[in-house]
Amino acid sequence: MSDCVFCKIVSKEIPASIVYEDDVALAFKDLEPQAPVHVLIVPKKHIKSLTDTTPEDKETISHIMVDVIPELAKEFKIVDNGFRTVINTGVEGGQTVAHLHFHLIGGRSMQWPPG
Ligand code: AMP
Ligand code: ZN
């Protein structure tokens, strides 16, 4: 999608600190990290939000959750102490970029409930 910042990162039109890439997913460091480790994982396909997925997206979404996020958590050494994975959806969910993304946040103690 031409006006989507994450699509532009996927197509390398704008720079990002990329930490993982495969055929269907890309991960890069958040521009405004909320913790020592803050990585965003996105499907390369433009999907607006979790509620805009289709059955054909199932494989990619589960790949991100089952393969990519645990692998990145190991790479950033946050498995032992634990970490948080967040998907914000819509205005009240706090979603500011309309391209589905998973936050991988770790390296400090988290609070609950989130703000
Ligand atoms: P959300 O509020 O869940 O939509 O999260 C959007 C996230 O994208 C925020 O944590 C932003 O800091 C991050 N972000 C926005 N633009 C960029 C960018 N160009 N590169 C990396 N992270 C970004
Ligand atoms: Zn997009």
Rounded mean pLDDT of 85-113?
98
Nearest to 88 by CA among 55, 61, 114: 114
| 2 pLDDT above the threshold of 90 | no
Question: Alpha-carbon torsion 51, 79, 104, 26, what sign?
Answer: negative
Question: Is 63 in the active site?
Answer: no
Reported confidence tier of residue 115, pLDDT bands at 50, 70, 90: confident
Q: Looking at the domain 5-106, which fold is it?
A: HIT family, subunit A (3.30.428)
pTM score, whole prediction:
0.98
Q: What is the pLDDT of residues 48-83, one digit of tens each?
A: 999 999 999 999 999 999 999 999 999 999 999 999
Domain borders along the chain are: 5-106
| 1 pLDDT above the threshold of 80 | no
**43 CA distance to ligand 2 centroid (A)?**
9
**89 CA distance to ligand 2 centroid (A)?**
14
Residue nearest atom 20 of ligand 1, based on CA coordinates: 31
